[in-house]
């Protein structure tokens, strides 16, 4: 275990005092300058007797595309659910932009600038792509529902602003031709693009993507990679879960490896891909 921690030391800033003494001065200086958007500390979650998240600690530096990988069942999606307020943590903390958001409601976490997509896109029956775009994560149903009765003009204004934003984002993603299509009629890959476009409507500072290219054909996979790169260059920070190694390794730096609910290691894509423990975790994965 100490071996694991020392290997990850140049990329994790929350180094316990005991380990810090072994780190050189330049490492300490670097960590002091880091601009952290998301900090996950000692996070824990069990389902009955099953430990899904086991004292997980890592952070996401602003401006990065940070990868989160690990074998099936490693606890990646659970961590997303904990971070974004969809699951309640048993212990530990989640901090977004310096604000403790541990166990806040999803909309409150979204208000702090953290938005997530789902591994399985939500059902969008009876909606066009444009309508699906407008049920963005920051639109609080309770609030807008009340405003509907107290200030209908404000609602109309907000709605047309949202509509214009949705149109602009669909154009940026080059899927504006899909706007009036039933959301259930588009391909799985296009659905993933719509999910990403929809998340961007909330103007996230950090966007968590859960397997954005699962089941997506190679052409759309490239489109998605290009879009993620473009958004990242324009300032959005990403935390990216992806099973497709080529995809995640081409986009992400650093990469955090999760195994059995804990962080196994963190590093640059090259280090990760050649690390014996990571290879072993994948070979023994799914148990
Ligand atoms: P990953 O996304 O890395 O494949 P998950 O986070 O989905 O892994 O799952 C981690 C473990 O937690 C698995 O054993 C899974 O069955 C369990 N788990 C996840 N969510 C729940 C839940 N809501 N109830 C019970 N067990 C769950
Ligand atoms: Mg998952």
- The pLDDT score that the predictor gives to residue 149 is 63
d(CA 140, CA 153) in angstroms, rounded, equals: 17
| Per-residue CA distances from 8 to 14, 54, 105, 242, 255 (Å) | 11, 17, 32, 21, 11
Determine whether the shortest distance from the Cβ of 71 to ligand 1 is under 6 A: no
In ligand 1, the atom with minimum distance to the C-alpha of 87 is 23
- The pLDDT score that the predictor gives to residue 37 is 98
Determine whether the shortest distance from the Cβ of 50 to ligand 1 is under 6 A: yes
**Distance (Å) from CA 10 to ligand 1 centroid:** 30
CATH for 2-24+34-122+202-283 is 3.40.50.300
Give domain limits for the chain: 2-24+34-122+202-283
Query: Considering only CA atoms, which residue is closest to atom 23 of ligand 1?
Result: 47
Sign of the Cα pseudo-torsion (274, 280, 281, 282, in order): positive
Query: Considering only CA atoms, which residue is closest to atom 19 of ligand 1?
Result: 78
Determine whether the shortest distance from the Cβ of 285 to ligand 1 is under 6 A: no
- The pLDDT score that the predictor gives to residue 188 is 85
Q: Helices (DSSP H) in 23-99: which residue ranges?
A: 25-33, 76-83
Mutate to test the pocket of ligand 1, among 40, 43, 46, 47 (most ligand atoms within 8 A of CB): 47
**Distance (Å) from CA 89 to ligand 2 centroid:** 17
- The pLDDT score that the predictor gives to residue 270 is 94
In ligand 1, the atom with minimum distance to the C-alpha of 210 is 2
Determine whether the shortest distance from the Cβ of 69 to ligand 1 is under 6 A: no
Determine whether the shortest distance from the Cβ of 259 to ligand 1 is under 6 A: no
d(CA 106, CA 97) in angstroms, rounded, equals: 16
Query: Considering only CA atoms, which residue is closest to atom 27 of ligand 1?
Result: 47
Q: pLDDT tens for the chain, 287 residues: list them.
A: 344 434 444 444 444 444 444 444 444 555 568 999 999 999 999 999 999 999 999 999 999 999 999 999 999 999 999 999 999 999 999 999 999 999 999 999 999 999 998 877 677 788 899 888 887 544 444 455 555 566 667 667 767 778 888 899 999 988 999 999 998 889 888 888 888 998 998 889 999 999 999 988 899 999 999 999 999 999 999 999 999 999 999 999 999 999 999 999 999 999 999 999 999 998 775 44
Yes or no: say if 194 and 102 are a contact pair by the CB < 8 Å rule.
Answer: no
d(CA 35, CA 10) in angstroms, rounded, equals: 15
Determine whether the shortest distance from the Cβ of 82 to ligand 1 is under 6 A: no
């Amino acid at each position: 275990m100490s071996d694991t921690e020392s290997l990850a030391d140049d990329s994790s800033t929350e180094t316990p005092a005991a380990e810090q003494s072994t780190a050189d001065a330049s490492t300490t200086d670097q960590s002091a300058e880091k601009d952290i958007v998301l900090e996950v500390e000692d996070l824990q979650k069990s389902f009955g007797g099953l430990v899904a998240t086991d004292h997980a600690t890592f952070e996401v530096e602003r401006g990065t595309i940070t990868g989160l990988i690990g074998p099936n069942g490693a606890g990646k999606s659970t961590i997303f659910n904990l971070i974004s307020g969809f699951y309640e943590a048993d212990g530990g903390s989640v901090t977004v932009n310096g604000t403790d958001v541990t166990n806040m409601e999803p909309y409150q976490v979204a208000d702090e600038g953290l938005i997530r997509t789902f591994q399985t896109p939500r059902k969008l029956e009876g909606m066009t792509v444009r309508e699906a775009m407008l049920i963005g994560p920051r639109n609080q149903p309770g609030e807008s529902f009340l405003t509907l009765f107290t200030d209908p003009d404000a609602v109309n204004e907000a709605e047309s602003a949202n509509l214009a934003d949705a149109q602009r984002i669909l154009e940026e993603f080059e899927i504006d031709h899909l706007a009036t299509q039933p959301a259930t009629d588009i391909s799985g890959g296009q659905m993933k693009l719509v999910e990403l476009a929809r998340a961007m409507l909330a103007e996230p500072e950090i966007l968590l993507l859960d397997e954005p290219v699962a089941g997506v054909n190679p052409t759309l996979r490239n489109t998605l990679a290009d879009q993620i790169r473009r958004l990242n260059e324009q300032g959005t920070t990403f935390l990216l879960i992806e099973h497709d190694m080529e995809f995640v390794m081409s986009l992400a730096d650093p990469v955090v490896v999760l195994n059995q609910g804990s962080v196994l290691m963190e590093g640059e894509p090259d280090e990760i891909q050649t690390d014996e423990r990571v290879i072993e975790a994948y070979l023994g994965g799914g148990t």
